[in-house]
A = this chain, B = another copy of it.
Amino acid sequence: MSNDAAVRNLPQAGALLTDLYELTMLQAYHASGMNDTAVFELFVRELPPTRNFLLVAGLAQAVEFLTQLRFTDAEIAWLESTGRFGKPFLESLPGLRFTGDLDAVPEGSICFAGEPILRLAAPLREAQLVESRLMNLLHFQTVVASKAARCVLAARGKPLIDFGLRRSHGAEAALLSARASYVAGFAGTATTLAGALFGIPTFGTMAHSFIQAHDDEAQAFVHFARSYTGNAALLLDTYDTEAAAHKVVELARRLRSESIAIASVRLDSGDLAAHARNVRRILDAGGLQQTTIFASGNLDENRLAALAASNAPIDAFGVGTRMNVSADAPFLDCAYKLTEYAGRGRRKRSEGKATWPGRRQVFRRYDSERRMEGDIVTLEGDAQPGKPLLVPVLRGGRMEAPLPTLAEARDHARAQLGTLPPALSELHAAPDYPVTIAPALRDYAEQVDRQLPIAPAPSVYLDPPG
């Protein structure tokens, strides 16, 4: 990781990838013998102004994290070296595994503020320890999938390719944003390793440096087309886009005798719609009606929508940075909160951050045209009309059933996006989707409050959380 690394043999995403307070709390729980069943929920408090819905992603990585959780000897030795942890606690760590239950909303599902995305029921120490990384994994992929879904809706069926490795926030961000955008409906990624790890289709064109390294642009095109296996895309905008398009026409004639076709050209700067029209005209006039136009450069859902509205003859898009970092909303106000311990409901009452107690479930109703009509949040066991969103994933630390494949999650996302009420699938802010709290949950929250160590503040009732 670094030449200033103090310890070399620690895994980068192991048990120490956690906030220090998880470990100091664990030590306190250990000292006082507290390890009854705790229920924690992960949810998003509020949506950013530019999100009408969330598209959930990251569950596969979260499950992998939970099922592989363990402390290595090197990790325990490092903890010991800090002088913060006593021997009895450290000796409890080698045997620690995640042995609890997990219920979660499947990847590719649509969710809203206040709805549990994931619910853990596990011995307190296990459920507490996993907080930081569980949030880290689910938060990020949901951030990206929700942004990417907007791009997919805006592109009106034209293929989108993830181009964002270089400005993603590190290696894992690049890999997981490739994955999350694929779940949301992107056609593939330029990130080679994401292809290898996840089986996502990979795409690539050429960089300006390739053209610049040659003394002659046409020579660069020829070198590239000859060496490329598959559908070569030639980059037109290094010097003069339209002049380059004329060169491609000439070149295509020469290469036809070698049975090489110019599958595609790429535009990466300037007025993409105007250049696309000019280039389309030049290519068509030159007999290259089959050559497609690929565009990239600072694209996001708003620019995609503008290009779609202008009927620019662009066949596919590379969408990078602004999608991968979710530039207009790079984080979600998500939380992971204790809702039950040792069989008793728990809630936090902090100003502006109060939470609901108990084990919650969400039911979704659809209208006669299979559009989402409204959600009801209630307690598990309180049957409501509609389909429950949370499904069992782990029981006793083991998989209930195989998770959906990446392709299945992507299909599910496509189907879910198809059930959005029309206003919610627009880019501009829609009226809130109706998420209501069932009487059973309200009653339970009041009952829990009566048992709280302090009198309830009325404002908390008047301003229900979620």
A27, A60, A193, A341 — which one has the most chain B CB atoms within 10 A of its CB? A193
Query: How many A residues face the partner with a CB closer than 8 A?
Result: 135
B269 in contact with A207 (CB, 8 Å)? no
Q: Give, as a whole number of angstroms, the nearest-CB distance from A369 to chain B.
A: 32
Taken residue by residue from 1 to 27, chain A's Cβ proximity to chain B (1 for < 8 Å, 0 otherwise) reads as 111111100101110111111111101
A321 in contact with B325 (CB, 8 Å)? no
A403 in contact with B270 (CB, 8 Å)? no
B85 in contact with A167 (CB, 8 Å)? no
A213 in contact with B169 (CB, 8 Å)? no
Taken residue by residue from 121 to 139, chain A's Cβ proximity to chain B (1 for < 8 Å, 0 otherwise) reads as 0001000100111011101
A462 within 8 A of B: no
B6 in contact with A196 (CB, 8 Å)? yes
Residue of B nearest to A141 (CB): B170
**A207 CA to B230 CA, complexed, in Å:** 54
Cβ contacts under 8 Å, A70 to chain B = none
Cβ contacts under 8 Å, A269 to chain B = 350-353
Residue of B nearest to A23 (CB): B192
B337 in contact with A209 (CB, 8 Å)? yes
A172 within 8 A of B: yes
Taken residue by residue from 266 to 310, chain A's Cβ proximity to chain B (1 for < 8 Å, 0 otherwise) reads as 001110000000000000000000000000000000000000000
Within 8 A of B (CB), among A365-407: 403, 405-406
**A40 CA to B210 CA, complexed, in Å:** 12
B136 in contact with A192 (CB, 8 Å)? no
Within 8 A of B (CB), among A126-181: 128, 131-133, 135-137, 139-140, 143, 163, 165-177, 179
Cβ contacts under 8 Å, A331 to chain B = 167, 321-322, 325, 327
Q: Give, as a whole number of angstroms, the nearest-CB distance from A51 to chain B.
A: 15
Cβ contacts under 8 Å, A237 to chain B = 350-351
Asked if A207 meets B28 with Cβ closer than 8 Å, knowing A193-B17, A454-B240, the reply is no
Asked if A338 meets B24 with Cβ closer than 8 Å, knowing A7-B197, A12-B172, the reply is no
A38 within 8 A of B: yes
A463 within 8 A of B: no
A190 in contact with B223 (CB, 8 Å)? no
Asked if A173 meets B167 with Cβ closer than 8 Å, knowing A4-B60, A202-B20, the reply is no
Among B64, B140, B192, point to the contact of A170 (Cβ < 8 A).
Answer: B140
Q: Give, as a whole number of angstroms, the nearest-CB distance from A256 to chain B.
A: 19
Among B25, B86, B197, B330, point to the contact of A330 (Cβ < 8 A).
Answer: B330
A63, A131, A137, A224 — which one has the most chain B CB atoms within 10 A of its CB? A224
Among B18, B173, B405, point to the contact of A173 (Cβ < 8 A).
Answer: B173
Cβ contacts under 8 Å, A169 to chain B = 140, 143, 168-170, 172-173, 176-177, 325, 330
Residue of B nearest to A139 (CB): B167
7 contacts between A and B (CB under 8 A): A4-B198, A18-B165, A23-B204, A28-B206, A28-B210, A169-B172, A268-B350
What is A's interface to B at a CB cutoff of 8 Å? 1-7, 10, 12-14, 16-25, 27-32, 34, 38, 40, 60-61, 63-64, 75, 78, 82-86, 124, 128, 131-133, 135-137, 139-140, 143, 163, 165-177, 179, 190-193, 195-199, 202-210, 212-217, 223-224, 226-230, 237-240, 243, 268-270, 321-322, 325-327, 330-332, 334, 336-338, 341, 344, 346-353, 403, 405-406, 452-454, 457
